Structure 1
Amino acid sequence: MQLPPITLVLGGTASGKSAFAERLVRVSRLAKVYLATAEAHDSETAERIAIHRKRRSGQGWRTVEAPRDLARALAQIDAEEVALVDCMTLWLSNLMLSDTDLDEERDLLSDVLDQLPAPVVLVSNDVGGGLVPDSAPARALQRELGRLNQQLAAQADLVVQVTAGLPLILKGTAPTSDTDRASLW
């Protein structure tokens, strides 16, 4: 199955977005590269990282840790590979915590995505439909993530919303393969 150049998979917490994105990448039959943006600052995050690693274990994934310098990591992807970035929310949060120029990083990411010789699947949280956070930093993350998701959705060829493990196409056309379509959609 051939993936479009840029796919954005959105969903809420525990929506199944990462598992869906991983299945999408697996059925592409390209060499799989997992660009991990999470850092284990606490036991809960460490547990989530372990769950994601276990799900990919033994499936031939090459993992690249890219908590901040995502554009550089993406620029290293070969044409015979497919990249999965999990997730844009944590990448943005890492940048915000390190006082990085967000506009500069978003522009750099956009440029790299436009030039990438391989397909990429980006995973991001959809946080705009929930409660308004009660702290200024959380509201800033929600606002900046909304901006990032809009930018990525505009640039993406395929945008999928995952809710309760079920994918809904918001933009583009689902990749097709007679044998794999049923397992994805």
Structure 2
Amino acid sequence: MQEAFTNNLNPTPVTDQLVARCKKGDVRAFRELYDAYSTAMYNICLRMTGNVTDAEDILQEAFIQVYNNIGRLAQAGSVTAWIKRIVVNQCLSHLRRKKVYFEEVEQVEVEEEDAVDEEGFTWTVSAVRDAIQALPSGYKTVLNLYLFEEYSHKEIAGMLDISESTVKTQYMRAKERVRQMVKRQN
């Protein structure tokens, strides 16, 4: 099974042969693997932390883990998911060290928010990106994991060691806050 993942900066496809070379300790092969994935994985780090320095540090730590554990990778065809999981776990560890707080559903009173009339204002990429970055860390983490990394609510709950209903509530509130912030910018 072959997987052809490339980024715009490096057209080298990630293949079974490349992964096999990495498993044998070929440093050049690992550099090719890094070049193929680093941009996409950096973007995950940046989305989850919102901080360039933290994203760079997390990326470096994640690829050290990839290098040290490449021999454990069962199938080369799953390398993308495997590296992404390492990166996401590094991001979550970083957020835990920063004591990101997730409100449990039972801890908060649900307040009725005004409905957002989306007609008459423009959704721009920069407005949405800025709104997501302005979210509290807990909301931002759940929103990123669900929307961009495509994890299920159940998977996110397991990753963050919180209830699935808390994940759903955090996601719902994050979406609403983004809508409100974009509306205010218009």
Q: What is the TM-score with the length of structure 1 in the denominator?
A: 0.27
Larger fraction in strand: 1
Larger fraction in helix: 2
- Greater RCO between the two (CA within 8 Å, min separation 6)? 1
Between structure 1 and structure 2, the one with the greater Rg is: 2
